[in-house]
Amino acid sequence: MRLLMGPGPSNPDPRVLAAMARPMVGHLDPYFLQIMDDTMSMLRTVYRTENHHTIPMSGTGTSGLETIMLNLLEPGDEAVVGVIGYFGQRLHEMAERAGATVRVIEEPFGGVIDPQRVADEMAKRPAKLVALVHAETSTGAAQPIPEVAALARDHGALVAIDCVTSLAGMPVEIDAWGIDAAGSCSQKCIGAPPGLGPVTFGPRAMEVIGSRTSKPFTWYLDLNLLFQYWGDSGAPKQRAFHHTAPVSSVYALHEALRLILEEGLEARWERHRQAHAVLVQGLERLGLSLFTPAAHRLPMLNVVNIPQGVNDAAVRSAMLERGIEIAGGFGPLKGKTWRVGLMGVNADPERIETLLGALEEVLREQGFGG
Amino acid sequence: MRLLMGPGPSNPDPRVLAAMARPMVGHLDPYFLQIMDDTMSMLRTVYRTENHHTIPMSGTGTSGLETIMLNLLEPGDEAVVGVIGYFGQRLHEMAERAGATVRVIEEPFGGVIDPQRVADEMAKRPAKLVALVHAETSTGAAQPIPEVAALARDHGALVAIDCVTSLAGMPVEIDAWGIDAAGSCSQKCIGAPPGLGPVTFGPRAMEVIGSRTSKPFTWYLDLNLLFQYWGDSGAPKQRAFHHTAPVSSVYALHEALRLILEEGLEARWERHRQAHAVLVQGLERLGLSLFTPAAHRLPMLNVVNIPQGVNDAAVRSAMLERGIEIAGGFGPLKGKTWRVGLMGVNADPERIETLLGALEEVLREQGFGG
C-alpha cells in the first residue's frame, strides 16, 4: 500500500479499483455500449464542452496527445508549439513526427509563455495549429491558456492543449476558452488507474480531420475510424469494430467520472486549491520553498526546492519505506527539486499532514531542520 | 455476468480480475519494476523466445501490430503482406501508412497463403519485411507460418506475424520458426482483460530499428524510447520515464501469465485443441457445419455456417439473453457465419456444453432442427 504523492498515478478511490474487477463483457455488448455513451457524456461535463467527439483513447495520456498531433497535422503543415518544460518539448517532438514544420516559443523551466509572443509569431507567418501544455508537470507551472487561445484563434489557428495534469483538478474550459482539441489522462486528478487518454475535439478540428488530403500515419489512433465505433455526431451509430476496447479500464474511468460528478466539478477544483494551500503552509513550516513562482503555481503538482546538502534519492527512498511516494525533478531540475502531487483523493488535508510528518522526520535524519 | 464465447475478450480467471483491483503503485516503484521484469520473462516463455525485447505495449493488440509496422518500416521500404481476411487487410493498411510500398499476396476468405507464392514474390523483387497473420480471426484459418518464414528469410526479409488470436492457445514458436517480430493481445488465449499488446522483437529487427535513417512517425510506440524505460539488453537499466505504464493492466497480465505457466504452455495448447474437438462434435450433433476447411482450422476461433432461414441477429441476441456471447461474421461473412471462441478458461468441455445447449434451444425457437 502506497500513498502516491508524485505526479501520478494517484491512488484511485476504492470504488474505482472495485470497478476494474467487474465481470468482463464484450466490447459490442449493449451493456458496454451504454457505459461508453455515459463515459462520453461525463467526459464532456469534466471538459466543460458540448463536443460530441469526446472519448477515452485506448492508451495512456501520451497516446491522446499523439492522437491530436497525428490527426490534426499533415506533412507540410505549420505548427507553433509553446515549450516551458519537458511536456512541451514532447508536443514539439510529436508535431515534427507528424510531418509538420514546427516553430517553438520557449521559456526557461519555471516560466510561462507570454501570450503576446504567440500573437507576434502568428503575425510573422500563419500556422495551422498552436499547441501548448496547460499544466506543465515538469515545472509545476500553469500557462495562460485563455489568452493564448484567443490570440491564436484571432490569427486563424486551431488550438490544442495538453491538460494531462490539470483536468478535474483546476478550471479547464474547453468551450469557453475556444480550445479545438485537448488531451488528458486517467490517473491524475480524474482518479482512475493509468491506461486511458481522454480527448475532446471540437467542430473546427473535426472538419480539418475530415478534409485531410492524406491518411494519418497511425491506424490505431485514427479518429475517422474510431468514431465508427464510438458513434459519430448526427449519424446513426454504426458501432463498427475498430479495436477491442479496454473494457475494464473504461469501467474504472466511468466510475471515477461518476465520483467527480457526485462531488461536483467546481467543488473538486476548490478542494485541490485548498489542498495546495495546506501543503504550501506546511512546507514553509518545515523550512522548504517552492521552485515555481507563486503567480503561476499549479495546485495539484508542487515543485519543491531540495535544500542544500540534502540527498535527493535518500529522501525519496526513505519516504517510500514509509509508504509514501514523491517524485524527483525532471531534466534540468533533477536532483534540485521534488515533485509533490495532490491529485484526486490525495488532495486531502489529512493525507497532506501524513506526508509532511514523514518528510519532517526524514529530513531530520538527513540533518536538515529540527 | 456473461460467458464470452466470441473472438475476445474472453472471461479472465477470477485471480486475474482480482489483480486488476490491487492497490496502485507508481510506475517507477521498485515493486512495479520487478513486476515488469517478471512480465517480460514470462512473455518470453509464452512466445518461446530468448528475445530480450519482449514487452506489453500500453495499448490493445492493435497497438502492438502498429508498433511493428511503424518501427520496422520507413518511407520507401518494400513490404510483402499476406492477406486472407480482415486482419491481413489491416496489416496491409498499417504498412502503407508507415510509408512502405506494399505488395499484397491475397487468398479469398477461408483460404491460406501458399508459401511458394511468397518465395516467388521475393524472387521477383526483394522486400525488407514479410508480414502476415498467423490465426486469422475473421475466417478461422491458421496459416503455414514456419514455411513462409523460412522462405522469406532465405530471401533476406524480416518476418513479422500477427499472433493476436493464436498466442497461448496453439503453438507459436518465435525462435524455432525464425520470426523477427510478433504482436498479440491480452484478452484472448492469454486470459487477461483487453488493453495490452504483448510484442517481441528479435536481434535482426532491433538492429534495423536501431539503424533507421528517420524517426518513426509515432512517439508513443517508439521502441528506442520505450526500452529506456523497460530496460535494454546488456546495458544497465536506465528506467527513464517515457509514459506512465498502465499499472493495473500489467498486474492482470502478470497474473494471467503466472496461470499459464502453472498450467504449462503445452498443456494449454492441448486443452484448446481438445476443446475445439468437443465443439466440432457438438456442432455436428446440432446439424451445423464449419466454414473453414478442416485442413487449416484454428482451435480457439470457430467460424460456423449459419443455416438457411435462420436469423443471425435474432440468434445472437437470444444467446446474449441467456448470458452467452457469440459473434457475427466479418466482412463478406457477415450474416453468413457466427464466430465461436474457445479461449483461455472458456476452452472447457463444460462451458462448451452450456453453449451448445443454449444454441440448440435458440435454434429450435427459430424453427431449425429438432
Provide the residue ranges of all domains of chain A, joining segments of one domain with +.
14-262, 265-365
DSSP for A176-235, please give it: HHT-SEEE--SSSTT-S-S--EEEEE-HHHHHHHHT-SS--S-STT-HHHHHHHH--SSS
Which residues in chain A touch residue B100, judged by CB atoms under 8 angstroms apart? none
Question: Phi, psi at residue A173, to the nearest 5°?
Answer: -125, 80
What cell numbers appear for B331 in the block? Answer: 466482412
Q: How confident is the model at residue B219 (pLDDT cuts 50, 70, 90)?
A: very high
What sign has the CA pseudo-torsion B338, B86, A251, A268? negative
Q: Indicate the burial class of B9 (C-beta count within 10 angstroms; 0-12, 13-18, 19 or more).
A: buried
Across B102-116, average pLDDT: 97
C-alpha angle A91-A93-A98 in degrees, rounded to nearest 5:
95
Minimal-distance CA residue of chain B relative to A74: B217
pLDDT digits (tens, 9 = 90+) for B135-144: 999 999 999 9
* Averaged pLDDT score across all residues of chain A: 97
Q: Look at residue B39 and tell me whether its pLDDT is greater than 70.
A: yes
Sign of CA dihedral B283, B287, B288, B293: positive
Count Cβ atoms within 10 A of the Cβ of residue A161 and give its class: 0-12 exposed, 13-18 middle, 19 or more buried: buried
Residue A370 confidence class, pLDDT cut points 50, 70, 90: low
Indicate the burial class of B140 (C-beta count within 10 angstroms; 0-12, 13-18, 19 or more).
buried
Q: Name the least confident of A7-11, A364-368, B71-75.
A: A364-368
Strand partners, A160: A131, A181
- Band of pLDDT at residue B370, cut at 50, 70 and 90: low
Q: What is the dihedral of CA B86, B87, B91, B96, to 10 degrees?
A: 20
* Cβ-defined contact of B195 to A27 (cutoff 8 Å): no
CB contact under 8 A, B59 and A61: no
**What is the tens place of the pLDDT at every residue in B292-339?**
999 999 999 999 999 999 999 999 999 999 999 999 999 999 999 999
Helices of type H across B48-163? 61-72, 86-97, 115-124, 145-154
CA distance A28 to A242: 11
Does the pTM of the predicted model rise above 0.95? yes
Q: Are B47 and B167 in contact (CB under 8 A)?
A: yes
CB contact under 8 A, B193 and A247: yes
The string of DSSP codes covering B201-243 is: E-HHHHHHHHT-SS--S-STT-HHHHHHHH--SSSPP----SS
Q: Which helix (H) or strand (E) holds B4?
A: strand B3-4
CA atoms within 13 A on the CB side of B141: 26
Task: Write the Ramachandran bin of A231: left for phi over 0, alpha for psi from -120 to 50, otherwise beta.
Answer: left
- pLDDT category, B239, cuts 50, 70, 90? confident
Residue B186 confidence (pLDDT): 98
Q: Which fold has domain A14-262?
A: Aspartate Aminotransferase; domain 2 (3.40.640)
Q: Please list every residue in chain A whose beta carbon sits closer than 8 Å to the beta carbon of residue B5.
A: none
- CA B155 to chain CA centroid, Å, is 26
Q: How distant is the alpha carbon of residue A20 from its chain centre?
A: 21
Distance (Å, rounded) from C-alpha B360 to C-alpha B368? 9
CB nearest to A60's CB, from B25, B30, B58 = B58
* CATH superfamily, with its number, for domain B265-365: Aspartate Aminotransferase, domain 1 (3.90.1150.10)
pLDDT tens digits for range A349-366: 999 999 999 999 999 998
Query: Chain A residue with minimal CA distance to B188?
Result: A244
Distance (Å, whole) CA B112 – CA B39: 33
Rounded to an integer, what distance in angstroms lies between the CA atom of residue A265 and that of residue A328?
A: 30
